[in-house]
Amino acid sequence: MAPELILGRGSIDGILELVPDATESILIVRGSTSFEASGARGRLRLSLGGFGLTEYVHSAQLPSAEEALVAAGELAAPDLIVAVGGGGVIDTAKLIAAALSNDLDIRSLLDARFSNAIPIIAAPTTAGSGAERTPFAVAYQDGTKYSVEDPSLLPVGAIVDPSLMESVPSNIAAAALFDALAHALESMWAVRSTPKSRLLAKDACEQILSGFSQGGSSTASRDRLAFGATLAGAAIAVARTTAAHALSYHLTSEYQVPHGAAVALTLGAILRLNADCDDSNCVDPRGSAHVRSAIREACDLLGVDTPLEAQRALRALQVDLGLPQRLSEVGLVAASQRQRFAAAVNQQRLANNPRRLDAVDIRDLVEELA
Ligand SMILES: [Fe+2]
């Protein structure tokens, strides 16, 4: 079931519509600065003043099972969790929601050995992750990225209020927007893509690219970016991510590259590689012609004719947004670092990419981006 969604400027004031009946106690999971800076604190105080409120601040750089379990040990289980923040905050709220409802340790939380969690309403303060629309939470543990997935982690309510997203620093906003664009594009070509995910992805792409083309600073363009990002979240909830995401996690955990910037580094090259899908390397049971057609549609959405032009268009967008374009810019300067990066890619995580990428493909891609 999709979360109940309220959209638009000021929609945070409608949160009571989403609060389940019989709710008495609410835990607000929030970021360290965005809650105040976005104005969410003042707005929620007015709407939720009648409930018993407690707060948990997620201030670590990345969400982790360890943090969620420590938090759950210190907090009383509420009737509802309201997550207000970026993707890391919403992911943390999901992990805490599971940890508060079940007797879990790190392993069982990472393996999603649970089937219920405290209901969540999510209000992103950054347009990008789409976590308010997905049933999974990213968790990092000992340098490895896990995707904790269970239907109970899908928020019961999502509030996409662009007025909460104005205070986000521009470098964080830029990376998060590229993440949203990657969700949309990867939802076009993923093995698990469906007609529904491609429809959502097209809408998402159009909104995001139109928001960019309008400069991203006017109210109208910011609204488009926010709506596009949440559509992309809904698309990725169906299609799941592909090679650009699989490759990104090492850069985030080892080099602290913001998630969207890490995805951006390889997205164009992955698009181009997937365009060369043929019967010898195709993983998608619908066949290589289907994959090439999906890539053509992605090129159309980007307003270009060829995969190479699409890669260049994505690179131009990285430049416009001030994101790094080469691995050397994010700290991978030595050949040994690039080799470790290439070796860290887990083949299992590449299973949703429509074209098989073997060790040589990955090594060549990493060298191309050096
Ligand atoms: Fe992402």
**Where are the chain's structural domains?**
4-165, 170-368
Report the separation in Å between the CA atom of 176 and the middle of ligand 1, taken as the mean of its atom positions.
Answer: 8
Q: Residue 170 above 90 pLDDT?
A: no
Ligand 1 centroid distance, CA of 305 (Å): 26
The confidence score (pLDDT) of residue 1 equals 67
Q: How far apart are CA 264 and CA 59, in angstroms?
A: 24
Q: Where is average pLDDT lowest: 79-93, 108-122, 334-348? A: 334-348
Distance 128 CA to ligand 1 centre (A): 8
C-alpha 303/C-alpha 231 separation (Å) is 20
Q: What is the mean pLDDT of the chain?
A: 95
pLDDT score of 346 = 77
How is residue 76 written in tokens? 């009383």
pLDDT of 13: 97
| Cα-based angle 98, 88, 56 (whole degrees, multiple of 5) | 60
Nearest to 202 by CA among 192, 210, 213, 214: 210
Instruction: State the architecture of 4-165 in CATH terms.
Output: 3-Layer(aba) Sandwich (3.40)
- Whole-number Å distance, alpha carbon 207 to ligand 1 midpoint, is 17
Amino acid 323 reads L
Neighbouring residues of the ion ligand 1, judged by CB less than 5 Å? 179
Given this model, what pLDDT does residue 39 score? 94
What confidence tens digit (pLDDT) does each residue in 85-110 have?
999 999 999 999 999 999 999 999 99
Residue 168: predicted pLDDT: 87
User: Binning pLDDT at 50, 70 and 90, where does residue 175 land?
Assistant: very high
Q: How confident is the model at residue 171 (pLDDT cuts 50, 70, 90)?
A: confident
How far is the C-alpha of 367 from the C-alpha of 55, rounded, in Å?
Answer: 46
Position 216 pLDDT exceeds 90 = no
Q: For residue 130, report the distance from its CA to the centre of ligand 1, in Å.
A: 8
- Asked if the model's pLDDT at residue 2 lies above 80, the reply is no
228 φψ region: left (φ > 0), alpha (ψ -120 to 50), beta (else): alpha
State in Å: Cα 76 to ligand 1 middle: 31
How far away, in angstroms, is 46 Cα from ligand 1 center? Answer: 33
Residue 37 above 90 pLDDT? yes
CA 183 to centroid of ligand 1, rounded, Å: 6
- Distance (angstroms) between ligand 1 centre and the Cα of 135 equals 13
111 phi-psi bin (left φ>0, alpha ψ -120 to 50, beta other): alpha
Going by their DSSP bridges, the two strands 52-58 and 144-149 should be labelled as unpaired
Q: What percent of the chain has pLDDT over 70?
A: 99
Asked whether the predicted pLDDT for residue 192 surpasses 70, the reply is yes
The fold for domain 170-368 equals Dehydroquinate synthase-like, alpha domain (1.20.1090)
Q: CA triplet 131, 246, 316: central angle to 5 degrees?
A: 85
Q: Taking the CB of residue 351, how many other CB atoms lie within 10 A of it?
A: 15
Distance 112 CA to ligand 1 centre (A): 19
Residue for token pair 């430049």 = 319
> How many angstroms is it from 334 CA to the middle of ligand 1?
27
pTM of the model as a whole: 0.94
Least confident of 72-81, 204-213, 234-243: 204-213
* Distance in Å, CA 180 to ligand 1 centroid: 7
> How many whole angstroms from 304 Cα to the centroid of ligand 1?
24
